[in-house]
């Protein structure tokens, strides 16, 4: 293993940039980098050995959620509500045009 010194530039995962970027060693513990500073965004954080943090989504929860979604059929959705939403959307599109014409008449 290469010996590190304070100020050496190493690659590490930056928490703020969310990418592997160049970092300068800020502090060391037992001849290993302990804290580093990103040379792009200048944020300090613990040395992560170029490893991104684990995903926040628990795979078991995601599997259960996908299982529930698979059981629900899209045909069960109420089509009348969608038709009403489409009917409501059409007059709303006309209203801004009417407002513009009223403003143009006042000027």
Query: How far apart are the two ends of the chain, measured CA to CA in Å?
Result: 77
The model scores a pTM over 0.75: no
Most confident stretch, 2-6, 8-12, 89-93: 8-12
**pLDDT, tens digit, 9 for 90 and up, residues 34-47:** 999 999 999 999 99
Cα separation, 12 vs 15, in Å, equals 9
As a whole number of angstroms, the distance between CA 21 and CA 36 comes to: 11
So where are the chain's domains? 9-46, 59-106
Q: What's the whole-number mean pLDDT along residues 22-38? A: 93
Q: Give the model's pLDDT for residue 41.
A: 93
Q: What pLDDT, in 10s, does the model give residues 43-92?
A: 999 998 888 887 777 778 888 888 888 888 565 544 554 545 555 555 54
Q: DSSP labels for 28-60?
A: EETTEEEEEEETTT--EEE--TT-PPPPSS-HH
Name the residue with tokens 């060391």.
28
Pair 13, 50: CB distance under 8 Å:
yes
**9 pairs with which residues across the strands?**
24
Report, as an integer, the average pLDDT of 10-28.
Answer: 92
């Amino acid at each position: 293993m290469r010996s590190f010194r304070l100020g050496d530039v190493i690659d590490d995962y930056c928490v703020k940039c969310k990418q592997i970027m160049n970092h300068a060693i800020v502090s060391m513990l037992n001849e290993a980098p302990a804290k580093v500073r990103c040379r792009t965004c200048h944020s300090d954080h613990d040395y992560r050995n170029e490893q991104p943090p684990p995903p926040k989504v628990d795979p078991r929860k995601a599997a259960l959620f996908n299982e529930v979604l698979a059981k629900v059929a899209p045909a069960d959705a109420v089509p009348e509500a969608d038709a009403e939403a489409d009917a409501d959307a059409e007059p709303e599109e006309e209203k801004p045009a009417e407002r513009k014409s009223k403003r143009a008449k006042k000027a």
